[in-house]
Amino acid sequence: MDRESLKKKTIGVLMGGLSGEREISLRSGENCYRALVARGYRAVKIDVQRDVAQELARAGVEVAFLALHGRYGEDGAIQGLLTILGIPYTGSGVLASALGMNKVAAKKVVRGSGLPTPDYVEVSAHEDTGAAALRVEARLGLPVMLKPVEEGSSLGVAKCKTVEEIVIDLEAGRRSYGAMFAERFVSGQEITVGVIERDGRPEALPILELVPKNEFYDYEAKYTEGLTDFILPARLAPAVYREAQVAAVKAFEAIGCRGYARVDMMVDAEGVPWFVEINTLPGMTDLSDLPAQARAAGLSYEDLVEAILLTASL
């Protein structure tokens, strides 16, 4: 869509939602709303609840700017509703959103495209936790990263150094998040690569290196100022830097993303970038990674938000 036609439409900034990332989404949405208003767009804020279809109709929303994170907002659910309602929206479509939200499905697709991703073990919802923990240790060794299959912002992620820790964290994770999986721990540099579409082509932004003061980049480290050192551009050899950017774009295309996304990776001691996950609606708060990478590429926050809006479609 072009700027002139968009400026004649009511842009609904969808935020909040029903996931564990609601508070982060509200912060992202408020920032995006202010940026759109500053650029002269007729924007309205929509706090997404179960009556969202009625709220969209009441507000006369013609284009949706998605600032949602987590379940129901980033997993294809809201995308499917907007498609049915005929309201163009920002970000990836139904299938890519669902794939990106399901970390195991995303790893399978990305691995099938030829990109390396750490080995993993799926844990059945009905499997005995003790037996599962022993199976994880036998297959992956220790330590491992234990993660919910469908959750964001590092919610429920634990680094397990013993079989006993796997059992404890697996039981807790199942209660709070449902399906879980274990992933081989990759020691090295943690990086994230933003990808945005401009003129119909995805391009990688400057790479951000994350050095958390916690044991890993968990929820607290992500959203508490001062708990993570952000190094931009990342301290990578030029060839590795280029390889990581190419891999990010390849993952973006393999999943079928649209508009923008953020690809998280680990770079091991040999300089191999390992795909960890893709975020199809990355955070847009003051502390979020994507806006920082955009600034390093010469894009202001308002430039970034407008670039995302211009990719809105059904």
Q: Which residues are catalytic?
A: 21, 153, 223, 262, 264, 277, 279, 283
- Whose structure tokens read 């650029």? 39
- Yes or no: say if 90 and 314 are a contact pair by the CB < 8 Å rule: no
158-160 vs 144-148, strand pairing mode:
antiparallel
Query: Residue 48's beta-bridge partner residues?
Result: 16
**How far apart (Å, rounded) are the C-alpha atoms in residues 101 and 56?**
24
Position 312: which residue type?
Answer: A
8 Å CB contact between 46 and 56: yes
Token pair listed for 172: 């807790």
CA–CA distances in Å: residue 53 to residues 14, 218, 305: 11, 33, 24
* 39, 83, 159, 279 from 264: Cα distances, Å: 30, 28, 17, 8
Continuous H helices in 194-234: 219-223
Q: Estimate the crossing angle of helix 103-112 against helix 238-255, to 10 degrees.
A: 110
The C-alpha angle 161, 167, 169, rounded to 5 degrees, equals 75
What's the token pair of residue 241? Answer: 């830097």
Sign of the dihedral defined by the CA atoms of residues 151, 155, 156, 162, in that order: positive
CB-count exposure of residue 169 (10 Å: 0-12, 13-18, 19+): buried
SS (H, E, C) 22-43: HHHHHHHHHHHHHHHHHCCCEE
